[in-house]
């Protein structure tokens, strides 16, 4: 199984773990070279959940999210279905971002990269009781984040729970390591 997919320019690219880490590094280097801050949106979901896959396809969620992906916001889909991968996601990856809370899938992890600094970390967790409505609210929430309106009042959402970093995030290297440990369990 190819665990990570990148969406953009009307195409979907599959990445195995090492290729994804290289791609992540390339994007971070590109942001640094152009002396600008870039954002990442990592959409973690259980790819084995047939009902969720149907909702994603029926509600055109992929198409709506693709419209938000561009040079300033890189969007990746991460297929996580094993309990151990979800546990690692919370214990390794979120901890490396300075998030002390536990997130459940499906969720989107958003953060900005500026050189070696990681900041503006937020997680939009969809309400499992009403996933369809959560997906309806998700594009506006990501658009708010993309517009750097994270600290202002975001678009009201009834079916999204925002989780913010409470501690200091680690360096880009630590985030990369946490991401790798999480992906190794997929």
Chain mean position to CA 122: 9
Long-range contact set of residues 134-140: C-beta below 8 Å, sequence gap at least 24:
134/106, 134/159, 134/160, 135/55, 135/56, 135/59, 135/61, 136/59, 138/61, 138/64, 138/65, 138/108, 139/64, 139/65, 139/67, 139/68
Name, in order, each residue with C-beta under 8 angstroms of 94's C-beta and a sequence gap of 6 or more: 101, 102, 103, 109, 123, 178
* DSSP state at residue 47: T
Tokens of 157: 């959402």
Name, in order, each residue with C-beta under 8 angstroms of 159's C-beta and a sequence gap of 6 or more: 126, 127, 130, 131, 133, 134, 136, 137
pLDDT at 153: 47
* DSSP state at residue 108: E
So where are the chain's domains? 4-183
The per-residue pLDDT for range 15-38, each reduced to its tens digit, is: 777 888 888 888 888 888 888 888
The per-residue pLDDT for range 122-169, each reduced to its tens digit, is: 888 888 778 888 888 888 888 888 887 555 545 667 888 888 877 666
Collapsed DSSP state (helix, strand, coil) of residue 172: helix
Residues forming beta bridges with residue 111, ordered by sequence position: 40
- The neighbour count for residue 114, using CB atoms within 10 Å, is 17
Rounded CA-CA distance 155/128 in Å is 20
Rounded CA-CA distance 55/12 in Å is 19
pLDDT at 126: 87
Rounded CA-CA distance 120/39 in Å is 9
The per-residue pLDDT for range 33-79, each reduced to its tens digit, is: 888 888 988 888 877 778 887 887 776 787 888 888 888 888 888 87
């Amino acid at each position: 199984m190819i665990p990570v997919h990148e969406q953009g320019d009307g195409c979907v690219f599959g990445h195995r773990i090492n290729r994804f880490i290289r791609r992540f590094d390339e994007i971070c280097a590109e942001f640094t070279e152009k002396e600008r801050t870039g954002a990442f949106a990592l959409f973690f979901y259980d790819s084995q959940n047939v009902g969720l896959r149907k909702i994603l396809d029926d509600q055109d969620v992929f198409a709506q999210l693709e419209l938000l992906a561009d040079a300033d916001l890189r969007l990746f889909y991460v297929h996580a279905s094993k309990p151990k991968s979800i546990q690692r996601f919370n214990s390794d990856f979120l901890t490396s971002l300075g998030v002390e809370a536990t997130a459940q899938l499906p969720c989107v992890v958003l953060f900005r990269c500026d050189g070696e600094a990681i900041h503006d970390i937020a997680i939009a967790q969809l309400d499992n009781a009403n996933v369809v409505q959560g997906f309806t609210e998700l594009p506006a929430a990501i658009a708010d984040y993309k517009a750097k309106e994270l600290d202002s009042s975001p678009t009201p959402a009834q079916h999204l729970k925002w989780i913010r970093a409470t501690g200091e995030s680690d360096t880009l290297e630590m985030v990369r390591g946490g991401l790798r440990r999480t992906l190794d369990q997929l």
